[in-house]
Every structure is written in C-alpha cells, then in structure tokens.
Amino acid sequence: MGDAFREILRRARQQVPEWTPTQVNEALAHQTGSTPDDDAFVLVDVREKIEWNEGYIPGAVHVPRGHLESQIEEVVPDKSEKVVLYCAGGVRSLMAATTLQQMGYKNVISMAGGFGQWKGGGYKFTLPRTLSDAQSKRYSRHLLVPEVGEKGQLKLLDSKVLLIGAGGLGSPSALYLAAAGVGTIGIIDADTVDDSNLQRQVIHTTERIGQYKAESARKAINDLNPDVKVVTYIERLDETNVQKLVDEYDVILDGTDNFPTRYLLNDAAIIANKPVVHGSVFRFEGQVTVFKPYDGPCYRCLYPEPPPPALAPSCAEAGVLGVLPGIIGLLQATEAIKLLLNIGEPLVGRILTYDALAGEFNEIRPYHNPQCPACGENGHPENLPTYGDVCAVPARS
C-alpha cells in the first residue's frame, strides 16, 4: 500500500463513520424486531459477483462497487436514508461510502473488517442460489437484460406453464418457453401427429408422424433444453381434470380452437386465480390477449354465448397460413414470460390483432362486464355451461 493511498484511506476514515460487525449484527437484529424504529438502514454489499456467490449477510442487497454510481439510486432513492456498506475487508466499502457522500447521501456508514471479519466472528451468512456455469452460458443473453438477470432466470427455472394443445399455437410457444428456461412445461393433448400438421406445427417432425403430439413435443423440448421438465397428459381437457391441472401451474397457454374448451378453461382459471394467455388464428388473421382473473375481462365477457358452429370454423375446416400460428404462438410465449417475471404491461384488457395480408397490428380494448356470470360481482364460474352440447368440437389449430 503506497503512501498516497494510505493518506486517502486516512481521510476517508475521518469523514465516514465505521461500525464493527458486532454493531451491524445488533442493528440488524433490532431492525427485524416486531416494532419499527427510526434506526432502520439499508445494508449494501459492494463486493463483486464472485464474492457475493460465496456468501452474504442476510438482508443485504448487492450493488457491486463497479456499478455503485449507476445503480445505488435505484436501490436507495432516498438520500437521507441510512446506508451501511460492506466489502471483503472494509477498504472498498470505505471508498464507496465517500463516493455516496459526494453523491449527496447524508448518512453513510462502512463496516470495518468487512465480510471476512463478519464470518470470523461466527455471524450468520447466506449462500445464494446461483446458476451453474452451463446455465450462465446458456442464458447469458437473459443475464444481460436488467429486467431478467440472474434473479429472473432463476424465477423462470422455478416456473410452471401449462400448454393446452401441442398444435399450431402450442408448438412455437413450447419451443421458446423451453429455450427461455421455463423449468416445467405441462402439455395436454390426446391427438397424434398427422402429416397435415407439419405445415404449421413446427415442434413435430416427419419421423414422429403417428406419435402422440404431447410426447413428440416432449422429445423436441428435451433435445433443445435439458433444464426443462416436461409433463405430458395424453388426454383431453374436460370437467374431470381441468381444475386439478390449472391449480398446478402458474400460467396457462390456451392453444385450442373450440368454444367448449375455452369456456371450461376460463371458468377453472377464475376459480384458481390463474392467468390464461389466449391465442387464436383464422386464415390470415390472429389475435392474442391475457385473461387475468379480476384484473380485466374474461373470456365470457367477450363471448357470453358461443356463435353457431358455421360461424366459427376450425383451421381444419377454414385453413390457416402456416406461419401465422408461429407469430401468434410467439406472442403468447412473450406474454407468459412477462407474467412469470412480473415485468412490462401484459395484454390484460387488450386484444392484439394481426392481419398478415395487410401486415398490420391493431389493438382492441374489450368491455369488462360487471354482471359477467363468471368474473362479475356475483359470478359463479363453477356452475356455468360450457356449451359442449351445442358447439362443434373441431381439431386443434
């Protein structure tokens, strides 16, 4: 250590108060007591990521010294609030404290001896959950996005998404949710792969014609990302299984194209308070929206009763441009990730429509019916008809 640095350190100690690890521990214990007090403070760890991964003081927030000036105001916006900084040995935190004082923070303290002395004193510390080296490499582009980062990626790995159907909409959704690292993907589909599916259901292959779609999708997902657990249900969604399935997942992606299943799913999701990312396609047109219970209209608000089957043909009857389900399915996957990470503005109370021929996106704001029998003030979603006896039940898209 040179003379110049010793002088800088001496001056820093003159202007920055220091607490011992014992004082910090006692202050933390007092702060987490049942009675709030005026001695509350924010504990900030200014070490590098590799040091943080080796353990940190419970309750601390991580703001590496190299990013302190750019990030501290997001963590501590009130510059009159007390801030206690610590590093490995007490030097970097002292320098960081002088920087905060220059930025206008009025009450900054450095922990003498740093984390090394904290551990040496036998005080509790936490080992953070971190991504493996392989995961850090796989999801490296997510880690660079502030709205995702390592914390968000771990949240995705802990998340569960249920796909209703592994057809035109479910195929791209499944692939991109798997690539993003959604930890558990459930797929319910009783159909088998047919050669007519391959024009748009890109998760399947010629070699897997005749196999169950759910199993075909599982193989594709496992080949893409071994981090993902795929749970398959070779059955149709009906009154006997819908509530149990919806209860087990965080977000539901609706890839069906028949009204009875949509009504059934809508009502079960309201009961379970789970969001449904709805998508539909028809020839050159598609749409996507999010039905979030009690935070916007539900499916029954849009369609109190189903139209006649002749006015709502399936893809098998009316046809669809092969790339269109890919566009809508990717939008569904995007909305699911936003919901899982609680970021952005999901399409709640908004329907995004896409006209492939015109190359135009438009937005519709549907009406939320306060008297809706499913989500209204006096709604009873458990007692509503699904119109299975009056609707045709065509194949999935």
Mind telling me the catalytic residues? 315
Exposed, middle or buried, 122 (CB in 10 Å: 0-12/13-18/19+)? exposed
Report CA 260 to chain centroid distance, whole Å: 29
Contact 288, 328 (CB under 8 A): yes
Distances (CA, A) of 132 to 62, 64, 71, 280: 19, 20, 25, 38
Instruction: Report helix angle 3-15 to 91-102, nearest 10.
Output: 60
Contact 148, 234 (CB under 8 A): no
CA distance 336 to 156: 10
Q: Is 182 helix (H, G, I), strand (E, B) or coil?
A: coil
DSSP state of 129: P
Q: How far is CA 188 from CA 94, 120, 192, 216, 267, in A?
A: 57, 53, 12, 12, 18
Q: Going by DSSP bridges, is the β-strand pair 351-355/285-291 parallel, antiparallel, or unpaired?
A: antiparallel
Phi, psi of 230 (to 5 degrees): -110, 125
Dist. CA 181–CA 14, nearest whole Å: 49
Cα gap 247→237, rounded to integer Å: 14
